[in-house]
Amino acid sequence: MEGNVLIIGLGLIGGSLALCIKDEHPEAAIIGFDVNHKELRLAKTLGVIDEMSMTLEQGAEKADLIILSTPVTQTEKILEILNNADLKSNVIITDTGSTKEQIMEASMPLKAKGLRFIGGHPMAGSHKSGVTAAKKILFENAFYMLTPLDGGDDHDIEILKKWLKGTRAKFLIVRPEEHDELTGMISHFPHVIAASLVHQAKGSSRDHPYLRRLAAGGFRDITRIASSNPVMWKDITLQNKKVLMDIMVKWKVEMEEVISMISDNDSERIYNYFNEAKIFRDELPVLEKGAIPAFYDLYIDVPDYPGVISEVTAYLAEERISLTNIRILETREDLYGVLVISFQTMEDREKAAECLKEKTDYDLFLE
């Protein structure tokens, strides 16, 4: 497709969308705007955008598609600015915010002016922020929720999907309230819980100096999302307050039940509690990308000698297998350490396992 695409907010999501759109529509001009001029210049230097717009209005006035990929509170303010700008009459405006009801509400004045806004939320990402973390394959196979306004035109949705085809995501049309209930449960609430687990561990670390080292493995993994951007999560929490409060009240009741079964030494209820959770969790789809993206980890039992990491990464580099993270678990005191390498896709992890099986005799474990 040809035309001008303005991306407002060139962080992880805006930058990744810019790459996807350019890949699929090389003739489109990708214009970027960001309040953080350093990030904007970086986006241009990295080739993520074609052109910088030094004011929001300048870019907006010539755009055929406007994507708002800013923290959700900012998105509401930008919708207000766009409402007073001189936009093309056929422009399509969308956003990427993690919450939808309040944003859809904020888009009503645009609708009243005859402009077209379709809410959007690509359900993939990471705890990293900024344009340097942007990548073209971020949304591949992920769900991409669209929340058109009541009475929205199907033709506009088709145009937007065409623009976003390069994401290789699976589009789902949902009502804004349903979106917020779903994401509240499977994404926003887990972020609150992850942060609270970390707070408790921090408190406990004052009495137990070993805690930090012991938390390096599983605990660090299950609380990965507590390393997300606090500004973004403050905004999401406040915008999805109603849903989150409801979930947290239910959670308190559930914790009371857990306290009671443990204090009563009720082994049957405790067993059932864990067992029912295991059954539901084991049945969740493995190959789908959910709201909280999975990272595919490969555990490698390596001897503890200098140079072992570069040896392993050199084998992977020879096969051109890219990894997203690498670390050593320091929980063990013996001669062997566990090297954990994370990959973006399950295929990359399989290729890496094959490669290391062939070139080393280290024991490998997949999660």
Ligand X SMILES: O=C(O)C(=O)Cc1ccc(O)cc1
Ligand Y SMILES: NC(=O)C1=CN([C@@H]2O[C@H](COP(=O)(O)OP(=O)(O)OC[C@H]3O[C@@H](n4cnc5c(N)ncnc54)[C@H](O)[C@@H]3O)[C@@H](O)[C@H]2O)C=CC1
Token pair, residue 265, equals: 């030494």
Instruction: Identify what 291 binds: ligand X, ligand Y, none; CB under 5 to 8 Å per kind.
Output: ligand X
Distance CA 361, CA 321 (A): 19
Nearer to ligand Y, 125 or 148 (CB): 125
Nearer to ligand X, 129 or 331 (CB): 129
> Torsion angle of alpha carbons 238, 13, 7, 35, nearest 10°?
60
DSSP string, 31-99: EEE-S-HHHHHHHHHTTS-SEE-SSHHHHHHT-SEEEE-S-HHHHHHHHHHHHTS---TT-EEEE--S-
- Least separation, in Å, of the C-beta of 35 and ligand Y? 4
Do 19 and 5 form a contact (C-beta atoms < 8 A)?
A: no
- Least separation, in Å, of the C-beta of 245 and ligand X? 19
Nearer to ligand X, 41 or 168 (CB): 168
- Least separation, in Å, of the C-beta of 142 and ligand X? 9
- The closest residue (CB) to ligand X is 98
- Least separation, in Å, of the C-beta of 325 and ligand X? 12
Angle of helix 346-359 relative to helix 308-318, nearest 10 degrees, comes to 110
Greatest Cα pair distance in the chain: 69
Q: Cα–chain-centroid distance for residue 334?
A: 36
Instruction: Identify what 223 binds: ligand Y, ligand X, none; CB under 5 to 8 Å per kind.
Output: none
The residues binding ligand Y (CB under 6 A) are 8-14, 33-36, 39, 69-72, 74, 78, 96-98, 121-122, 125-126, 129-130, 229, 232, 236
Nearer to ligand Y, 34 or 64 (CB): 34
The residues binding ligand X (CB under 6 A) are 98, 123, 125-127, 187, 225, 228, 291-293
Q: Is 120 helix (H, G, I), strand (E, B) or coil?
A: strand
Instruction: Identify what 71 binds: ligand X, ligand Y, none; CB under 5 to 8 Å per kind.
Output: ligand Y
Nearer to ligand Y, 225 or 316 (CB): 225
Token pair, residue 25, equals: 């529509």
CA distances from 20 to 10, 24, 26, 208, 239 (A): 13, 6, 10, 47, 28
Instruction: Identify what 32 binds: ligand X, ligand Y, none; CB under 5 to 8 Å per kind.
Output: none
- Least separation, in Å, of the C-beta of 266 and ligand X? 34
Instruction: Identify what 72 binds: ligand X, ligand Y, none; CB under 5 to 8 Å per kind.
Output: ligand Y
Nearer to ligand X, 15 or 337 (CB): 15
H or E stretch at 363 = strand 363-366
